A and B are shown apart, each in its own frame.
Chain A
């Protein structure tokens, strides 16, 4: 029996990639460890090594093919007995990688629970402040963040970026790609793995008059540095009677990633949003990521800027304007509706939008509010929407207890009680550390289905 060579997953979040180059041809003998091909993920170009020994029988996916899903058969190899795998059914090139190839009793590829967070949902309403006829560029969130930093670094000598692997490695998640080349190692600085220390150095540099951008590889590691974020950065202006500022941006990915377990999967939005003296921003799409990061860098206040690894590679329309800066502290209605308000932020917005689409099929028109900034919270936009819909569900990829959802529920009760026709419901992750096992992870995370259920409930339709 021959061996099928399948498109490998080369990172926790990789769903597809480009088969950039074959380094073997049909008929070549390969030994274990030989490099078969170069595969481009959204983060890097990786070499793909042979595991089994044998002869390359047929190359199924030619080089240069983009969007090859993980698990697709890309080549067949004759085993040591020389029998080719030609008899096996082949994946249709254009078709999505259905996996009938696998024998029915073979273990199926474990799908991360985060797959259901990764919707393709986008806002249905353009930024109303942009003039008619504005051109848009398809941009990934990753590129939008990089562009924001590069533009602000060009404009202001005081801005620099520091963190683990931000310079020579081009960013652990490739967000700082190209910055070292343009700005040099004075302004793009690799640090040792010492979050507490470099967060303090960043905060001190900000007190000394610079404008640092401190990247945490993920916000999970910022726990080591949280003392400087809160005690040093957030409180200084107040404690000094307004004399000593700390204009710094702490940024990096936040929230659940794919199958990385409890210590690498947590949403810190509610933690930081509870601290007076901080600005907390958590954008969903690329345009907001760009416009709000630029605003964050310009701000004279310390900003915690929460990104999401699962959306880094997703493309959105970003307006092609010279200096796209968005206001901090303003929520955005990303879909209009009259029957229920869905409030969310960061990756939860995609889930809310997907749910809204499904609900539209049931005749329920959901309005989706993307908070964008978690502190200060734009309660006016939320309350305004509630006035119209009289029902509200908060969608949050994070724990339920003391969450942004709890805060919204409290605000709505205090200030919008008379507008409520049903109790506010919270759709959040389960109240457990995020498990590793694929099925448990899936059970722990929010999805559009749960949002739909909650909406039916507040509409008394379940």
Chain B
């Protein structure tokens, strides 16, 4: 269950975030503070989170209708993580990589929903020409490097993207997202070691949605406080309320500062929750309806943002207008994805290799 565990320090003087048992003599990032968003920024966060939610709901429907096949992992409940983090990045400079639950990250990076939905339905117009599917989508133009189906692989690959930023000296930072399940993969720690050894500009983001498929964090992780997982590599970690977009953005600001100051990598544990099953075929019998319901009622990221917006004087009318716009965008994307043609059969043989030999 999602527990907002981020400390709320006084604004006067940020204190370093030191986890229990950590080495106090090492420099540490400051404890993050919630981001002070302008009204426009807040509206944009809200808009993006609603877009992701409506998009994913539609994807779920299309799956049920047979338009989408295979595996399809929905991001519903976790919207604040991708939106909060990616709003802090510099488009065209910083890079992002994630696992197979990737639709939300792509939408948060401003990639056209039509291209994503058409990929889900396996159409020629899809972002991977229909050859990748839900788990394998990329947009090199947006510096979004996938979309990887092997749990944990994106962490090493992300360290490689960080390596490339440093090698070129382009000032970019890589954000590598992975889940609480991937956090137990061996290669994650191989990458932590090299990332810190070589001071790579990378933010490791654990999206702890509490369940690795059907296995809860407590049943799979000897150290379930995942933000501490970098400590033995001297990578500092911050635990963040991943259901609050402002907390996420605030922590990202701190992480970016840490990395850009040349301190090497940092780890953010985003405590979040997925409302749906692991994939479309998961009945989610490993948790109770009440548990899900409680998170929805108490911690929903969109409802949380709505409260901030109301406090900022945004009217219900305005929010309704946003909701309507988004429903239109999503239904257009779905129409496009349903009506676009499948890839030409010749596409079977293209893109296997880049060159001709």
In the complex, the answer to whether A203 meets B157 with C-beta atoms within 8 Å is yes
Per the bound structure, the CA–CA distance linking A244 and B141 in Å amounts to: 10
A192 touches B190 (CB 8 A): yes
A194 and B194 contacting across the interface, CB-CB below 8 Å: yes
Closest residue on chain A to residue B95 by CB atoms: A208
A243 to B153, CA, bound (A): 19
Interface size range on B against A: 35 or more
A194 to B193, CA, bound (A): 9
Instruction: Indicate if the CB atoms of A279 and B357 lie closer than 8 Å.
Output: yes
| Chain A residue at smallest Cβ distance from B141 | A243
Interface flag for B299 (CB, 8 Å): no
Q: Which of A204, A279, A373 contacts B353 (CB 8 A)?
A: A279
| Contact indicator A276/B352 (Cβ below 8 Å) | yes
Which residues of A sit under 8 angstroms from B131, Cβ to Cβ?
A: 238-241
Known pairs A196-B186, A227-B153, A327-B357; A208 contacts B165 (CB<8 A): yes
The distance in angstroms between the C-alpha atoms of A281 and B352, with both chains bound, is 17
**Does B205 reach chain A (CB closer than 8 Å)?**
no
- B353–A199 contact, CB under 8 A? no
How distant is A299 from chain B, measured CB to nearest CB, in Å?
6
Q: Is B126 an interface residue (CB 8 A)?
A: yes
Is the CB–CB distance between B149 and A231 below 8 Å?
yes
User: CB distance B153 to A228 under 8 Å?
Assistant: yes
The stretch that binds A, out of B67-75, B132-140, B244-252, is B132-140
Report the minimum CB–CB distance from A44 to chain B (whole Å): 26
**Minimal beta-carbon separation of A303 from chain B (angstroms):** 10
**Which A residues are in CB contact (< 8 Å) with B279?**
none
> Bound complex: CA of A244 vs CA of B191, how far in Å?
22
Interface of B is mostly: mixed
Chain A CB within 8 A of B290 CB: no
Q: Does A300 contact B (CB under 8 A)?
A: yes
Residue of B nearest to A376 (CB): B357
Inter-chain contact A200/B148, CB cutoff 8 Å: no
Name the A residues within 8 Å of B146 (CB-CB): 236, 240, 244
- In the complex, whether A207 has a CB less than 8 A from a CB of chain B is yes
Distance in angstroms between the alpha carbons of A241 and B118 in the assembled complex: 13
Q: Of B158, B193, B197, which contacts A204 at CB under 8 A? A: B158
Distance between A11 CB and nearest chain B CB, rounded to angstroms: 29
In the docked arrangement, what's the CA distance between A232 and B158, Å?
12
Task: Confirm or deny: B276 has a beta carbon within 8 angstroms of a beta carbon on chain A.
Answer: no
Whether B145 contacts A242 by the Cβ 8 Å rule is no
Q: In whole Å, how far is B126's beta carbon from the nearest beta carbon of chain A?
A: 7
Q: Which residues of B contact A209 (CB under 8 A)?
A: 164, 168
Give the contacting residue for A208; candidates B128, B164, B352; CB below 8 A. Answer: B164
Partner of B159 from the list A200, A232, A300 (CB cut-off 8 Å) is A200
Within residues 172 to 224 of chain A, which ones have a CB less than 8 A from any CB in chain B? 186, 189, 191-192, 194, 196-210
- Please give, as numbers and ranges, the residues of chain A lying within 8 Å of B148 by CB-CB distance: 232
Is B308 interfacial (CB-CB < 8 Å)? no
Contacting pair A210 B164 (CB below 8 A)? yes
Q: Which residues of A contact B187 (CB under 8 A)?
A: 194, 196-197, 200
Does A277 interact with chain B (Cβ within 8 Å)?
yes
For the complex with contacts A198-B190, A204-B163, 13 further pairs of A-B residues with Cβ separation under 8 Å are A189-B198, A200-B155, A203-B156, A204-B145, A204-B161, A208-B161, A237-B354, A239-B147, A242-B129, A243-B139, A300-B354, A300-B355, A328-B357
Top 9 A-B pairs, shortest CB-CB distance:
A204-B160, A200-B156, A197-B190, A208-B164, A241-B129, A329-B357, A204-B157, A194-B190, A242-B351
A–B Cβ pairs within 8 angstroms, 30 of them: A160-B167, A192-B193, A192-B197, A196-B187, A197-B156, A198-B194, A200-B153, A200-B190, A201-B163, A203-B160, A204-B157, A204-B161, A205-B164, A207-B161, A208-B160, A228-B153, A231-B149, A232-B150, A232-B157, A237-B354, A239-B131, A239-B132, A240-B351, A241-B132, A243-B138, A277-B352, A299-B355, A327-B357, A329-B357, A373-B357
